[in-house]
Amino acid sequence: MFDGIIGSAIGTTITLLLGFILYKEKLSFKIIYEKRIVLLEKLYELLCKTNRSLETFTSTFQDDRPVEEKIKEFKKYFISLDRLFYRKKIILEENTCASIENIISLIDDAYKSYYKWDVSRKDRDRSNILMENWEKTQKKVFEEIPKVKKELEKEFRKSLRMNTF
């Protein structure tokens, strides 16, 4: 009689422990997915702000502020995007990381091309060549940003589905 009660108590205890362990595992994955969702949302926002500020400082028609002020705003968003991504990329999918690393590199190249052109304006021949390079890199950035945004949207939605357990 006691063997049945002890066996039942041990079985119940084991079941409760396994349930607790599974709940804890599920909770830790849920926390990771929630962090991923917040990160994706913030990266998307910073990418949009970086894109918009790049458009603003490269166009004389969009904003009357001095170029230096527009560049300062661009740098603020771009540096925030870069730092956030490299601090938190461990919780993102590899293909999303590759897309973001690529766009960060392209944006950095575009800014460097702009800076080289801006510094060289006094030398007309060199300035024209650098202006062409600046325009090419800028065009590439503006072509790639929508693709990266789509990638972030895709991973965001995937993470939302996975977070509903």
| Residues 58 and 113: beta-carbon distance below 8 Å | no
pLDDT in tens, 118-145: 767 666 666 677 778 878 888 999 999 9
CA atoms within 13 A on the CB side of 139: 6
Residue 121 main-chain phi, psi, to 5 deg:
-55, -25
Reported pTM: 0.77
Asked: is 34-162 a CATH 1.20.1440 domain? The reply is yes
Longest alpha-carbon distance in the chain: 100
**Measured between alpha carbons, how far is 42 from 90 in angstroms, rounded to an integer?**
15
CB atoms within 10 A of CB 15: 10
pLDDT in tens, 56-102: 877 766 677 888 898 899 999 999 999 999 999 999 999 999 999 99
Q: Which residues have a Cβ under 8 Å from the Cβ of 101 and sit 6 or more positions away?
A: 85
